[in-house]
Structure 1
C-alpha cells in the first residue's frame, strides 16, 4: 500500500512529524517499507507557456520556441519534444535551475541557436520513471508559478508492507482510522452523500452464485463527456500511489479503490447485451482481458456476464470488449462484494495479480459497496458530467459474512501482555477501532466491525489492545512460569543423535520443500495418492510429499549438474499420507548417495558407492537403537528402485518400516540424473525407540570357535541362514558370522557354499569338546531340516 502523506493528512491530522508517523505505523503492525519524496530535488522550475514554435534552421527534429515563463520578457528555448506546440503549458527550467541528478541549466547554443532554459518532461523532474514528450500542464496553470508550489511537491510517499490479515488498511480511509486511534484525533474524510437520480434507467442484475457474490451494486450514468480530462489533483494522487492516469472514468474507479478500499469497475453500457449475470464460468469459455490476454476460463472462476458472454473476471480484471473507450457516452458502474474464497488463487491461475484481486483475496468491507458507489458517482458527475440513474442493489443476506461476538476477559489481558491495561483504556481502544463493546462480569463482549476479517478469538483482541497501547509502553518484566520436567523414556534416541551419526558417516543435511512436483511424486511413490494443494505456489510445487525422496533427488540433480559428482545428503522431515478423511504426518529419515566412496587419494583405490554402502549406513542407524537384531533386510520391489538392488527394511513387530536400494535407471533418466544413485528411507519413530543397555557379566572362561561350510540353494539369502542358526536354540552359542561365500568347482549348479564361524562360551565353566560338537551337530540338523543345507565335504 503506497500513498501520499498529504492525502492521508486530508483525512486525519496527527501532531507528529513524518518520521514519527512512520515509526507509529510500524510499531502498530503496519510496517513502513519506504518513505520517499514524491519528486526529485529541483529548483527554479516554473510554469511556462509556449507562445510560438518555429523550425530550427539547421536541425529537422528541433524546434525554436518562444516561451512565457513569467519573466520580464519571453525566453527563446530550443526543444526536440514531439508534443511541443503553441499554447502548450509545460514546466520550464530557467537558467541556473538545478534538476535531479545534479544537472544544471546554463545558457547554451543548440546547433548554433541560443537556448535560455529547458522545457521539461516528467521523467527529467523525477516525477516519472519514463515519459514521452513534455509534461503537459492544465490550461489554467498560472504562468511563472514555481512548479513545486503549483503541484504541491513538498510531500512524501509512504509505502506499507502489510501482512495478509490487514486488508482493512489497503486504503487511505483504513490507514487514517489507525492513525486517528494511535493519536486520539478525529478522522474526517470527505462528505459522501446520496446522489440525485436524474434518469430512471436500470439494468437487471442476477446473482447466480450468491455464495461467491452476495452483494452487487450498480448504476447507469448517461451522457458523460468523452473529451473530459482527469484533473491534475486526481492524477497526482494516483501517481503518488503508484498508478498512472488512464482516463477520467478509470481514474475515478482507481481513486475510490485507493481512498475507500473498494475495487470498482466501469463498463461501456452500449456493449452490454441485456442484464448482468454474476455466475461461474462454463467450461472453455473465453475472455479477452484489458491487457489483451485471451484466457480460457475454468468452471471455478467467477465472472460478470451479460445475456450472451462473459464481460469480466469478477474481482480481478475487466474484459476488453466491454471496456470504456474514448468515445464512450454511457457507462455502467459496478461496486460488488466478492467472497475471499471465490477470488483467492484465481488471479494467479491466469498469471495475474491486480489491485482488485489483492484486496478481495484479503477481504473487503461488505458494507462499503454503496458508499463507494456514491463517492464514484459524485466524482464522475463533477469531472465528466452526465446523468446518474438510481442505485441497483441485489443482496443475498444469508451469504454475507457475519461478525460473531468474541469474549474478552480483563484478567486475560494482563496474562497475555504481561502488564495490566486499565479497563477504561482497553474499552476506549476497542471502541475507537470501530468495535461494538458490551460489558460483562469478567470483561467485555466484543463484536468486530464489518471491515475486520482478522478478529476471531480473544487473543486477537488482546493484540489490538497491545499494539495501540504501544509495545514501547509495555514494561520489561521477568516472566514467572511453573516449570515441569516432562517424562522422557531413557532409551529414546533423539533426532539430533541420528543426525550426528549421519554426519559422522560423511552426509550433509538438506532441508527441502514439503511441496513437490505432482509428476515426480507419482513416479517415486505411486502407491500413495498425494494431497493436492488448493492454492499452490507453482505448478511444480502443487502436492504434499508422501516421501522425502523427491526433494532429495532434486537436490542431488542440482549438485550433480554443477560438477559435485560425489555427494551424500540426508533429510529428517515430515511426509503426508491421507488416511480416510484425515492427513497423517510421519517423521522420516531419508538419504541419497552417489559417486565415489572417498575423495580421490593415493591411499585407497577409487571405488563408487554400491548397494552395500547404503545398506551399511542404514545399519549404522539401526545400531543406535540397541535392537539391531529386531531388523532384517529382505529382497523386495519398489516402483522407484532397481529390481535387483532393492530391499525392504523389516521390523520384527511392525513389518516394513523403510526401503534401501538403487534408483531405477528409467526413473533416473526421467529425472535427468546421469549416474547411479542410492536411496534409503526409514520411519524416524522406529529409530527413536531405543533400548536401555543392560549389564551382562563377561565370562572368565575361554570361548571355542568352530568353522563350518554349508551348501544351500543359491536363492536362499545368507541372512536367512544366520537367523536360522540363531533361532536353533543352541545353549552356548554367543556369536555367528559369515566370512566366505563360494560358488564354482565342486559345488552343484544352483547351489552355493557359505563359510560360517560359530563361537560358543559358558559363563561358569570351560566347555568340553563333546558339548561343542553336540551343539554344532544340532545346528547342522536344524539347517538341513529347514533350509536343505548340507555340510560341505
Structure 2
C-alpha cells in the first residue's frame, strides 16, 4: 500500500523523522516497509499492511495514528465543517442488512464539475491515482485518507430511490470504462427502481455517471459484507481500490465520518444526510491481567505504561483493567491481542535476551521426537518437506468432494475452511513443481481437522507407480520399528485398525497416515551394528507366489534369513501369462557378511533357501 510522506507529515506540527528512519520505526513496531521512492518534493512509502490491520490502516489516518503512538507525538486530524438544509431527500432501501451493514448518502445540489486544485491532484498522483474531476477526486482522496471507499451518482439520473439488493440472473450493467457485465443472483448491486447503478463495493455503472453537465449529486458511503465483495471481485475479475478495501473488515461506523469529510472538502451546503444502519457495531470489552501480560512478554512493564500505550492506541481503560476496544480495531478480540499490542509498541528490542533456566534436565517430548525422526527418514528417502496452510478454499473442497468445517472468522475470504486432509495441497504443490523439475517427491507432517484435530504424515510423488510409494512406506515403517502392518487395496492397516490411505490422482501417487497411530506403534530400540568392510552382493529374482500372500509377509520372511541385508520389491503383476491363483513378483535381494566377501556358491545357497522359505515357483 502506497503512502505519502508529506501527507503523513500534515497530521503533525512537529517534524517527523526522515522517510528512511520513519520506515525503520514502522518496520520494527507495526508494518514492514518494502521500499522508499522520491517523487517530486514528496516521498512514497510502500508499507506492507497485514490483512488483520487492513481495516484500520489502509489509510493515511490509520498510519498517522500508528506514528503518533510510536513517536509519542500529538496528532491533529482534519477539521470537518458541514451544513444541512432539510429539504431534499432520497429513499434508501437495504433488502438484506447482512449484505449491506450500513448505507449513508448525502445529496449536494448545484455543484460545479471542474478540474481539481493542484494540491489535490498532487496528493492523488503520489498515491498512484489519476485526477478525473473535483468531485470524483475528493471521493478518492477521502478513501486514501480514511480508508472508506465512496461513490458518487448523478442525482437527476436516479429513478426513484436507491436500493441495495442481489442482482437478478441475466441482469446487465455497463460499467464505467465501458465493460459490460452479465450478473447473477450472487452479485450485490446498487440499483434504482429501474436498473443497476453499480456493483456494490467494486465499480460504478454508466447510468448515473457524473459528467461536466451534472448539477446535483448523491454521495454514497456504505459498508458491505467483505466476503461477498471478495467473492464477487474474483468471479467478475474486477479488482479496484474500493474492492481491495471492502474485502477487509472496514469499520461500519466510518461511513458517516467519511461522507462528512467529503462534504466539507466540496464546501457546499447539502441536504439531510440519509443514514440506514440497522445492526450497529458497538465497542466491546476485554478483561486483561498485567501479570499475565508481563509473564507472556518476559519483562516487567509498569501498569501505568501499559495503560498509556493502550490509551494512545485508542483503547479505553476502565476499572479493574477492563479494556474497551474501538470498533476500528476488529482484529483485537482476546487478551492475547492486547498483549501483542503492548509488546510491539513497548518494543520487542527492549525485552532482555535470557536463556531459560532448567532446574533439572528436560524430559524428552516424544511428540517432537517422533515427528523429527519421521521427517529425517522422509528426507533420507528423497522427499522434500513442504508447508501448506491449515485452510483451504472452495476449489479444493469441490475437486476432492471434501466434508469440511467452515471458519467463523477466516483470515481470508478464500481460505475459509479447515483442511480435513493435506492431499489436495500436496497434489497441487506437485503439479506446480513439475513445471521446474522432472521428478517430484514431497511430504508434509501437519495438522488436519475433521471430527477432531489430528496430526498426519502425507506424501506425494510425480508417478502413478503404486509400488514406488509403497516401498517408501515400507522403509519408513522399518526405520520406525513398526513391523505388524499390512496394505489393502487403498488402505494401510496395523492389525484391524486402518491408519492411512494410498491412492493415485492425476498421475500423482499419494499417501496419508494418522501420525498419532504411527507414534503409538513406533519403537525406539537403538542397536549398534558393526559396519561391514565387505561388499554387498545383489541378486534380482522373479517368480510366482500365491495371490493371497501379502508382499509384506514375503519381505519379512526373507529379512529373517542370515546374511540378508535388505529386500526391495520392484514389480508385482497379475494377468496374462500368470497362472490363475498366482501373482508374479520381482525382488532385489541384497546380501552381505561382516566376516568375508560372499562367493557365488554361498549366494546361490542363500537364494535357494529364500525360495524354499516363501514357496517360490519359477516362472515358465
Q: Distance between the aligned counterparts of 2:581 and 2:107, measured in 1?
A: 93
State the partner residue of 2:476: 621
Deviations 1:44-84 (A, max 9, x none): xxxxxxxxxxxxxxxxxxxxxxxxxxxxxxxxxxxxxxxxx
State the partner residue of 2:191: 305
Select between 28-37 and 341-350 the one with higher mean Cα deviation. 341-350
State the partner residue of 2:58: 170
Picking from 415, 424, 449, the partner of 2:304 is 424
State the partner residue of 2:549: 718
State the partner residue of 1:632: 486
State the partner residue of 1:731: none
Is 1:652 paired with 2:495?
A: yes
TM-score (norm 1): 0.61
Q: Distance between the aligned counterparts of 1:516 and 1:217, measured in 2?
A: 35
Give SS of 1:224's match.
coil
How far has the Cα of 1:208 moved from its partner? 1.6
Are residues 681 and 17 of structure 1, via their aligned partners in 2, closer, same or farther at CA, if it must alter by over 3 Å?
closer
State the partner residue of 1:13: 13
State the partner residue of 2:607: none
**Structure showing greater relative contact order (alpha-carbon pairs closer than 8 Å, 6 or more residues apart):** 2
Give SS of 1:657's match.
strand
How far has the Cα of 1:204 moved from its partner? 0.5
Is 1:389 paired with 2:277?
A: no
Are residues 17 and 530 of structure 1, via their aligned partners in 2, closer, same or farther at CA, if it must alter by over 3 Å?
closer
Deviations 1:327-357 (A, max 9, x none): 2222111112334344344323322332222
Deviations 1:149-195 (A, max 9, x none): xxxx3x32333221122232222222222333333332223321231
State the partner residue of 2:90: 203
State the partner residue of 2:283: 403
Select between 285-294 and 569-578 the one with higher mean Cα deviation. 569-578
Are residues 475 and 299 of structure 1, via their aligned partners in 2, closer, same or farther at CA, if it must alter by over 3 Å?
same
Give SS of 2:13's match.
coil
Give SS of 1:36's match.
strand
Are residues 369 and 411 of structure 1, via their aligned partners in 2, closer, same or farther at CA, if it must alter by over 3 Å?
same
The structure with the greater share of residues assigned to helix is 2
Q: Distance between the aligned counterparts of 1:36 and 1:531, measured in 2?
A: 45
- Partners of 1:512 and 1:551 within 8 A in 2: no
Structure 2, gaps ≥5 residues long: 528-543, 585-620
Aligned length: 557
Q: Distance between the aligned counterparts of 1:649 and 1:230, measured in 2?
A: 71
Structure 1, gaps ≥5 residues long: 40-152, 596-609, 637-646, 696-711, 727-733, 755-793
Is 1:588 paired with 2:457?
A: yes
Are residues 301 and 22 of structure 1, via their aligned partners in 2, closer, same or farther at CA, if it must alter by over 3 Å?
same
Is 1:328 paired with 2:214?
A: yes
- Partners of 1:14 and 1:179 within 8 A in 2: no
Q: Distance between the aligned counterparts of 1:416 and 1:483, measured in 2?
A: 22
Q: Distance between the aligned counterparts of 2:421 and 2:291, measured in 1?
A: 46
Q: Which aligned pairs between 1:524-563 and structure 2 lie closer than 5 A?
A: 529=403
Q: Distance between the aligned counterparts of 1:624 and 1:282, measured in 2?
A: 61
Q: Which aligned pairs between 1:79-94 and structure 2 lie closer than 5 A?
A: none
How far has the Cα of 1:549 moved from its partner? 5.3
How far has the Cα of 1:679 moved from its partner? 5.4
How far has the Cα of 1:482 moved from its partner? 7.4
Are residues 532 and 412 of structure 1, via their aligned partners in 2, closer, same or farther at CA, if it must alter by over 3 Å?
closer
Select between 316-325 and 182-191 the one with higher mean Cα deviation. 182-191
How far has the Cα of 1:475 moved from its partner? 4.2
Q: Distance between the aligned counterparts of 2:193 and 2:157, measured in 1?
A: 11
Picking from 141, 156, 159, the partner of 2:43 is 156
Q: Distance between the aligned counterparts of 1:450 and 1:572, measured in 2?
A: 39
Deviations 1:491-513 (A, max 9, x none): x98244344444545x2325275
How far has the Cα of 1:550 moved from its partner? 5.0
State the partner residue of 2:384: 509
Are residues 483 and 265 of structure 1, via their aligned partners in 2, closer, same or farther at CA, if it must alter by over 3 Å?
farther
Select between 249-258 and 619-628 the one with higher mean Cα deviation. 619-628
Give SS of 1:405's match.
strand
Q: Distance between the aligned counterparts of 1:208 and 1:423, measured in 2?
A: 48
- Partners of 1:12 and 1:179 within 8 A in 2: no
- Partners of 1:546 and 1:576 within 8 A in 2: yes
Are residues 481 and 318 of structure 1, via their aligned partners in 2, closer, same or farther at CA, if it must alter by over 3 Å?
farther
Give SS of 1:210's match.
coil
Are residues 218 and 508 of structure 1, via their aligned partners in 2, closer, same or farther at CA, if it must alter by over 3 Å?
same
- Partners of 1:621 and 1:687 within 8 A in 2: no
How far has the Cα of 1:447 moved from its partner? 0.5
Q: Distance between the aligned counterparts of 1:394 and 1:290, measured in 2?
A: 26
Q: Distance between the aligned counterparts of 2:583 and 2:124, measured in 1?
A: 87
Are residues 518 and 390 of structure 1, via their aligned partners in 2, closer, same or farther at CA, if it must alter by over 3 Å?
closer
- Partners of 2:454 and 2:514 within 8 A in 1: no
Deviations 1:108-166 (A, max 9, x none): xxxxxxxxxxxxxxxxxxxxxxxxxxxxxxxxxxxxxxxxxxxxx3x323332211222
Are residues 13 and 553 of structure 1, via their aligned partners in 2, closer, same or farther at CA, if it must alter by over 3 Å?
same
Q: Distance between the aligned counterparts of 1:308 and 1:389, measured in 2?
A: 24
Are residues 486 and 6 of structure 1, via their aligned partners in 2, closer, same or farther at CA, if it must alter by over 3 Å?
same
Are residues 316 and 423 of structure 1, via their aligned partners in 2, closer, same or farther at CA, if it must alter by over 3 Å?
same
Is 1:3 paired with 2:9?
A: no
- Partners of 2:491 and 2:498 within 8 A in 1: no
Are residues 272 and 174 of structure 1, via their aligned partners in 2, closer, same or farther at CA, if it must alter by over 3 Å?
same
How far has the Cα of 1:405 moved from its partner? 0.9
Q: Distance between the aligned counterparts of 2:552 and 2:283, measured in 1?
A: 71
State the partner residue of 2:530: none
Are residues 311 and 583 of structure 1, via their aligned partners in 2, closer, same or farther at CA, if it must alter by over 3 Å?
farther
Q: Distance between the aligned counterparts of 1:306 and 1:379, measured in 2?
A: 27
Picking from 224, 242, 264, the partner of 2:128 is 242
How far has the Cα of 1:454 moved from its partner? 1.9
Q: Distance between the aligned counterparts of 2:357 and 2:210, measured in 1?
A: 64
Is 1:253 paired with 2:139?
A: yes
State the partner residue of 2:75: 187
TM-score (norm 2): 0.76
- Partners of 2:434 and 2:440 within 8 A in 1: no
Picking from 102, 108, 112, the partner of 1:215 is 102
Alpha-carbon RMSD across the aligned residues, in angstroms, is: 4.5
State the partner residue of 1:497: 373
Are residues 592 and 532 of structure 1, via their aligned partners in 2, closer, same or farther at CA, if it must alter by over 3 Å?
farther
Give SS of 1:165's match.
helix
Give SS of 2:332's match.
coil
How far has the Cα of 1:256 moved from its partner? 1.2
State the partner residue of 2:593: none
Are residues 593 and 460 of structure 1, via their aligned partners in 2, closer, same or farther at CA, if it must alter by over 3 Å?
closer
How far has the Cα of 1:266 moved from its partner? 0.3
How far has the Cα of 1:521 moved from its partner? 8.0
Are residues 477 and 13 of structure 1, via their aligned partners in 2, closer, same or farther at CA, if it must alter by over 3 Å?
farther
Q: Distance between the aligned counterparts of 1:679 and 1:211, measured in 2?
A: 42
Give SS of 1:193's match.
coil
State the partner residue of 2:333: 456
- Partners of 2:315 and 2:326 within 8 A in 1: yes
Q: Distance between the aligned counterparts of 2:99 and 2:468, measured in 1?
A: 57
Is 1:365 paired with 2:263?
A: no
State the partner residue of 2:588: none
How far has the Cα of 1:203 moved from its partner? 0.5
Select between 649-658 and 207-216 the one with higher mean Cα deviation. 649-658
Deviations 1:236-276 (A, max 9, x none): 11112221101111101011112222221101112211111
How far has the Cα of 1:611 moved from its partner? 5.7
Are residues 435 and 558 of structure 1, via their aligned partners in 2, closer, same or farther at CA, if it must alter by over 3 Å?
closer
State the partner residue of 1:286: 172
- Partners of 2:125 and 2:131 within 8 A in 1: yes
